[in-house]
Amino acid sequence: MSKIWLVILGAVVLNGVSAEAMSMSIGPQLGFYKALDADQQSQMFGLTGRMKLNPVFGLEASINYRQEKYADDALTVKSWPVMFSGLVYPLPFVYGVIGAGWYNVTYDINQNKLPFLLDKTTQEYGWHFGAGLDLPINNNFNLMVDLRYVYLDYDFQDIPGSSDLESDFYVASVGFLFFL
């Protein structure tokens, strides 16, 4: 049943998409974030691609690298988030965003602090929402600036004293997109 609704939603979104209205862009992005219980603020960087389907709707895909430390440097979490988002433009340069992400996560244990635990790699899923600006520089380039809140529940259960750690985060991002 949910597949039928996805097909209907896709048809509605793509309805009225013309070659002139559709635009695609790709470029680097840089984000600054702090997970709620991480030891400090961190940066993430990667690549994002966008497809504006019509003046109101767009799609985005991105891959980034990020890392943060928890529990007073006892644990370093490294991840490669792959995120997919829907964009809604109430104004030509203002957008709302909502989407989901798949996170390939490595839990790197500091053996000096927790010598009996082993590193592990898992797959985690999260979702996000936010808002931003698409600022045209010229006909070839666009500057994107946005703020997102990401819901992400890392699996800290093997780390002693870490059951209450929160890994949700805000991220402020800037990207320089080249139109294709």
What pLDDT band is residue 2 in, cutting at 50, 70 and 90? Answer: low
The residue type of 64 is N
pLDDT in tens, 19-58: 446 899 999 999 999 988 889 999 999 999 999 999 999 9
Give the Cα separation of 13 and 57 in Å (integer).
7
Give the Cα separation of 176 and 144 in Å (integer).
6
pLDDT in tens, 77-136: 999 999 999 999 999 999 999 999 999 999 898 999 888 888 889 999 999 999 999 999
Q: What pLDDT was estimated at residue 102?
A: 96
Give the Cα separation of 83 and 125 in Å (integer).
10
pTM for the whole structure: 0.81
The domain ranges of the chain are 26-179
Q: What pLDDT was estimated at residue 13?
A: 47
Distances (CA, A) of 5 to 10, 49, 100: 8, 25, 18
- 140: exposed, middle or buried (C-beta count within 10 Å: 0-12, 13-18, 19+)? exposed
What CATH number does the domain located at 26-179 have?
Answer: 2.40.160.20
Q: What pLDDT was estimated at residue 21?
A: 62
